A and B are shown apart, each in its own frame.
Chain A
Amino acid sequence: MIKTDILIIGAGPTGLFAVFEAGLLKLKCHLIDALPQPGGQCSEIYPKKPIYDIPAFPEVLAGDLVDNLMKQIEAFQPGFTLGERAQTIEKLEDDTFIVTTNKGTKHHAPVVAIAGGLGSFEPRKPPITNIGDYEDHGVEYIIRDPEMYRGKKVVIAGGGDSALDWSIFLTDIAESVTLVHRRNEFRGALDSVDKVQELKDAGKIELITPAEVIDVVGNGKVEGVSVKRGAEVFNKECDHFIPLFGLAPKLGPIADWGLEIEKNAIVVNNALDYQTNIPGIYAIGDVNTYPGKLKLILCGFHEATLMCQSAYKRIFPDKRYVMKYTTVGGVEGFDGSKKEAPKAVIKAIN
């Protein structure tokens, strides 16, 4: 069981900055994120895009913003559970919480701050009516163990990097690899596109373009897919169908935690501390809503700051505290480091 003071769900910019503000109050944080790396959308969707409205940064790349935040919070030694989605929450008798991920990792904290952005990133599923019947029976949206495709016939759909890279990778494992894409052009890295061309010429990948998989065929498990190319529809025999259309955010299991939801976001008390309808659970950043809400990173930073002050009062109801400026108090890390302004030297002039 991982124990911490503030359990933050979502390691995007808002969640990361909350670690800093909590650290100033000597509160330890642990973050859970469904993605394998911190940074949320900034790392996953647009790391190379410049952001122009972070105060005092005339321009900063989203990826650099995340790197800077990671550097800023390093001394506060946050813990991370990455690549796992927060699944369930349980409130204990002492008003603390246990959050369990989809992989069964348990976290215990007196305060939970949901900084989940637009939700957890999950595979985009193509609109094929019967696809749900075959999930985990030959239809996989994520390749977890390539060995399960050894000696099998595989059809992959998609035109981005992951479709190309996995097609290349599986040629050495699977009996056959077929790649179906709606266009003749692929938008992956150039060397991946060249490699697929090479494997196609060598007869190791069958390329079906411009085409679409429109149906899954089978009986309890996948036996083939229906492919539509122009007016022609034909059956392609296979053991596995792997649609790789990238990721899209979904609010996911958090929506079932008993929190008040409005406009696909969690309703919070913005007049006070961004707490939800469940005391002890806060929602900060893009995941929350309140009158006048703006989904901006800079607003998330503000919300994280106020949340931490309230969390401190919840954890230490009897302690008195007033906010200190870092210019006055400096920053004392949990790693023993201390940053502070140089002290003025008093020296008489004779």
Chain B
Amino acid sequence: MQDITLHITDREGVEHNIQAPTDMNMNLMEVIRSYELAPEGTIGICGGMAMCASCQCYIESDHDLPEQNYDEEAMLAEAFHVKENSRLGCQLFISDALHELKLTLAPEE
């Protein structure tokens, strides 16, 4: 399995180019936490169950991402700072399809 590259702009506006493994069943929120791109306690608060919006991010590249499931759609309907390109990082699983994905973390609520 190959690692993929992600381009993540953190909440301070700093861009990070990072490698993420595709074979560890990780999601985007967990990758962001593993690189400590947002302080602990401000991201992934619900643990990755689409029950908070602390991992909300704005997708800025033209990737063909999986459709939002019911939980993600419902949470984004209640979240703040939502834009057209908002997704929950915890619902995006790291796979080859995400290679070179570019995104920015949404502000903390």
Contacts and interface: CB of A to CB of B under 8 A. Distances in A.
Given A45-B46, A45-B49, A49-B49, A245 B40 contact: no
Contacts of A150: none
A159 B79 CA distance: 11
B35 interface: no
Contacts of B45: 118, 248-249
Interface residues of B, number: 17
Contacts of B92: none
Interface in B38-60: 39-42, 45-47, 49, 51-52
Contacts of B82: 182
B53 to A, nearest CB: 9
A181 B77 CA distance: 8
Contact of B77 (A182, A248, A251): A182
Contacts of A295: 47
A329 B47 CA distance: 38
A181 B51 CA distance: 18
Interface in A243-295: 245-246, 248-249, 251, 263-265, 289, 295
Nearest to B49: A46
Nearest to B71: A187
Given A182-B82, A187-B74, A249-B45, A127 B109 contact: yes
Interface in A130-187: 158-160, 181-183, 185, 187
Interface of A: 41, 45-46, 49, 118, 124, 126-127, 158-160, 181-183, 185, 187, 245-246, 248-249, 251, 263-265, 289, 295
20 contacts: A45-B46, A45-B51, A46-B51, A118-B45, A124-B109, A127-B80, A127-B109, A159-B74, A160-B78, A181-B77, A182-B77, A182-B82, A187-B77, A245-B78, A248-B52, A249-B45, A263-B39, A263-B40, A263-B41, A264-B40
Shortest 9 CB-CB contacts between residues of A and residues of B: A264-B41, A263-B40, A187-B74, A183-B77, A127-B80, A159-B77, A45-B51, A245-B78, A182-B77
